[in-house]
Amino acid sequence: MNAEAMILVSVDDHLVEPPSVFEGQFPARFTDAVPKAVRNAEEGTR
């Protein structure tokens, strides 16, 4: 196989969603189950 004909594809890319990505996206009854970022003064954002 010719190296110049190969296509390099990175499969280790990462997406970083904003902390509020799920806010307002689910019915109110799921508020406690929706993933969210929590800011903690001692540990920072988690």
Report DSSP state, residue 19: T
Match 């997406």 to its residue by tokens: 15
- pTM over 0.75? The answer is no
Unique residue bearing structure tokens 């920072």: 44
Of the pLDDT bands very low, low, confident and very high (cuts 50, 70, 90), residue 46 is: low
* Residue-wise pLDDT tens digits, 6-45: 888 888 777 788 888 888 999 999 989 998 887 777 776 5
Residue with tokens 């969210």: 36
Q: Give me the residue spans of the domains in the chain.
A: 9-46
| Distance of alpha carbon 3 from alpha carbon 21, whole angstroms | 41
Report residue 7 as tokens.
């296509």
Report pLDDT for 33: 92
